[in-house]
């Protein structure tokens, strides 16, 4: 890229602009590696809500630029029932009912750890299941048990070297927090020239 302007202005903006460009380019490049690893499967790579304060919109844009998908921007667009919510409400069904009563129009995702929990969540009416730290064998069993009654998102401990194996289970998504919290930066510099 070429930028032009007064030298003082360019030097003043250089570090901030490069920091953002290097960071977002790193996120996009890392995401592209995941998207390529999932090629030929139905699974898509997702980011998570684990973003840098103040940079969520930019980081999520970088994920899209790299070939990934944004599932949620925050808790306002998808309600999330996690382990503590299940415990506090007295179970998956009770937690789902409370969320649905309070926010009837918001899609609900339930984090599950077992096939039995996955089936309970779907029977309660969950739109999405977050399949937490499951082995490929467990994921295959959930896919067979749930079918197309909910979107299935594998998460937890996923790395590029096992991505294709997890995608082959038939899940719809692999969610990878590392896209936005651990992507290496791309080394980009700015050199001044005359003319």
For the chain, the first-to-last Cα distance in angstroms comes to 15
Q: Which candidate in 23, 59, 86, 111 is catalytic?
A: 111
Q: Classify each residue of 102-132 as buried b or exposed e, where b means 16 or more C-beta atoms within 10 Å of its C-beta.
A: eeeeeebbbbbbebebbbbbbebebbbbbbb
C-alpha distances in angstroms, 70 versus 28, 121, 166?
Answer: 13, 23, 19
- The active-site residue out of 50, 97, 98, 149 is 50
Angle between helices 56-65 and 7-37 (to 10 degrees): 50
Residue 23 annotated among the catalytic residues of the structure: no
Active site residue 132: yes
Active site residue 191: no
Active site residue 83: no
Q: Could you tell me which residues come within 8 angstroms of residue 194 by beta carbon, excluding any fewer than 6 positions away?
A: none
Asked if 15 is an active-site residue, the reply is yes
- Least Cα distance to 26 among 56, 59, 57, 3 occurs for 59
Q: Which of 82, 83, 123, 165 is an active site residue?
A: 82
Please list the active-site residues: 15, 50, 82, 111, 132
């Amino acid at each position: 890229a070429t930028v032009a302007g007064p030298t003082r202005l360019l030097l003043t903006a250089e570090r901030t602009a490069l920091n953002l460009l290097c960071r977002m380019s790193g996120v996009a490049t890392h995401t592209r590696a995941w998207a390529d690893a999932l090629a030929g499967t139905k699974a898509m790579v997702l980011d998570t809500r684990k973003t840098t304060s103040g940079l969520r919109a930019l980081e999520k844009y970088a994920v899209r630029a790299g070939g990934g998908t944004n599932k949620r921007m925050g808790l306002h667009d998808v309600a999330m029932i996690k382990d503590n919510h299940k415990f506090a409400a007295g179970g998956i069904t009770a937690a789902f009912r409370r969320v649905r009563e309070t926010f009837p129009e918001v899609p609900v995702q339930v984090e599950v750890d077992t096939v039995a929990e996955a089936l309970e969540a779907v029977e309660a009416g969950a739109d999405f299941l977050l399949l937490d730290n499951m082995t490929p064998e467990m994921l295959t069993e959930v896919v067979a048990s749930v079918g197309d009654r909910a979107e299935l998102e594998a998460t937890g401990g996923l790395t590029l070297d096992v991505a294709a194996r997890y995608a082959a289970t038939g899940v719809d998504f692999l969610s990878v927090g590392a896209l936005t919290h651990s992507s290496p930066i791309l080394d980009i510099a700015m050199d001044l020239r005359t003319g």
